[in-house]
Structure 1
């Protein structure tokens, strides 16, 4: 498949981009783009590094950068920002991969395993799974932008410039703080979130997008390096560093498990519609009680994902753990038991001087898979 084919033709369905894109449409674009970019991902691959871009004065690099921006399905404003931000296109592509691998890892034992099948239809609805996709995509974008700045792969940003950190000294010692401040500011401008949409779906999407950004901020820690004599900390340099993205994904999965169902309600105090969650009958506040800023929110109950549908291929044939999740994943249909012989390295010994010698062993493995 050629990468410049129209995404709608590739998918064969009408996706949310058939109408004028919302201001935060990049998240939808990125997730849909996974159908083409990540169709062979298993969730176990190591993430590729950002390719180093040379100075913008290099004609070949500049031409390649512009081409990458043109291949991404962006709004006019987003494409304009991409073209004048060397390194952004590659950062977006890496964020795509980061988001889909983490989503597949977090849901590897669930009925919905974040597969690419049915994702376009899923994004049209207000399920918990849709909420997670928005959050993990915005988190991957935030994380990737901050890391790209500190790694010198973006020309318009560099190390974290927080006033309480001595980043020039940190740079001299070979370290550089992740610039979350710049990535957050740039991302919100890129998504155009200055004004919140009036309809419920727009509010929900923006809320979940911001939950993803906040999850990355939650993992920002101060790291210090000692330079004193004999390793003492008489002299030290500190900088901001993001946690591994797996920790962000784990946090978002916990937010998914406790997601809040919402509806639109009018706040009489300010005269505007807001997100509100159902309250107990004995507790009816005058002002609608909304979700917390860290809650993932959804509008409608999810399907079971047991059988093939427009949203997933079902769970038939999925491997499971008999002790942990076969009953749930197989939806009461039962599971098949199959034995197979697997080969693995064993009895490894370090030989003089510089290599490890192993034997090849075989053992029987039992595999459980859901029935049709």
Structure 2
């Protein structure tokens, strides 16, 4: 009976996670110590939940049922997206903070069709494509493996080999799962679809070719190459740059036989965004003051950099409210030296450091 309740609690948390946006799977769940029998029970519950959740459209239910490992890959992609978002926004007024016990892990921030929402959708779509492609190459999904298409090419001076990570399948899965929820007939859906695709393209365009030499005495008579996914940090850095230059757009109806809705710059003299740019429809909310309804924590009590003119500087991060300087004691290893053989001996140095906190 005790074992059953562990499995049941894990199932309930799983259902709560997916009733919001899919990236809610990044929320921590109760670890199960179940054995083989409980794993089978949990798997059955997971598959049954795919049919019952009204949040999932038909295509998402099909993907949910592909295999037992799909949900684990979804959780991996969601967790990586949240972690990367928090890294990229660690110095910003909104630092991608998460809200516990909410239907959306980001609170109500993404209710606004803002540039932050654009970034989260792009990064989440990219992280899922990345996670799926990596799971394929590791043999964790039965539906895919290594990318065999690259072997059909005939490059000069080198040959394809190894296991090329299949970003094509990752993109297809991400497009099917993430985009299935969006309605292109709504302004928000049109914006989200554009940003989702921009995120996937950020991964694809940064695929790396890795080569290894083979031959006698290091002659490199044969060079074998394969394609490797970029680190998600590189994708996050690229999307952050796109976020900073995101295009403020509006939806325009064009009637050419049938009604076609397009995203166009809000001002005629602005550059038309391409498929790799991020776009947003509304200005961001105020992140300076707490807002319980939206899950905004505000910037009071945040650590700032007094000498920085960037987003982490006290002038910008503290929103003009000023800051307090506190002196804190710090300890660190110093005057380290090598002692034969074989250890490093260090002394402990103590010093005081100014710590600046927003009012």
Distance in 1, matches of 2:355 and 2:181, equals 51
Which runs of no fewer than 5 residues in structure 2 stay unpaired?
Answer: 1-5, 30-35, 100-104, 154-158
Where 1:261 maps in the other structure, the secondary structure is strand
Matching of residue 348 in structure 1 with residue 336 in structure 2: yes
Where 2:282 maps in the other structure, the secondary structure is coil
Question: Which of 239, 262, 268 is the aligned partner of 1:274?
Answer: 262
Where 2:242 maps in the other structure, the secondary structure is helix
Query: Contact 1:123–1:130 at 8 Å: present in 2 too?
Result: yes
Question: Which of 53, 56, 62 is the aligned partner of 1:75?
Answer: 56
Question: Which of 324, 334, 340 is the aligned partner of 2:322?
Answer: 334
**Per-residue CA shift, 1:90-134, capped at 9, x if unaligned?**
111111111111101101111010001482312222011111111
**Per-residue CA shift, 1:44-99, capped at 9, x if unaligned?**
xxxxxxxxxxxxxx887665545556678761532442232242211111111111
**Per-residue CA shift, 1:254-275, capped at 9, x if unaligned?**
1111111111112244641111
Taking structure 2 as the reference length, the TM-score comes to: 0.80
What displacement does 1:290 show?
Answer: 4.7
Distance in 2, matches of 1:129 and 1:123, equals 7
In the other structure, the counterpart of 1:360 is: 348
Distance in 1, matches of 2:261 and 2:236, equals 31
Which runs of no fewer than 5 residues in structure 1 stay unpaired?
Answer: 18-27, 39-57, 284-288
Distance in 1, matches of 2:287 and 2:342, equals 51
**Per-residue CA shift, 1:187-231, capped at 9, x if unaligned?**
222335599621111111111111111111121011111112233
Query: Contact 1:165–1:238 at 8 Å: present in 2 too?
Result: no
Task: Tell me how large the CA RMSD over aligned residues is.
Answer: 3.2
What displacement does 1:276 show?
Answer: 1.3
In the other structure, the counterpart of 2:185 is: 198
Query: Contact 1:169–1:237 at 8 Å: present in 2 too?
Result: yes
Alignment of 1:302-341 (within 5 A): 302-309=284-291, 310-311=293-294, 312-324=296-308, 325-341=313-329
Aligned residue pairs total 326
Taking structure 1 as the reference length, the TM-score comes to: 0.77
Alignment of 1:1-372 (within 5 A): 2-5=9-12, 29-34=21-26, 36-37=27-28, 64-67=42-45, 75=56, 77=58, 78-117=60-99, 119-164=106-151, 170-171=161-162, 176-191=163-178, 193=180, 197-269=184-256, 271=258, 272-280=260-268, 290-309=272-291, 310-311=293-294, 312-324=296-308, 325-353=313-341, 355-371=343-359
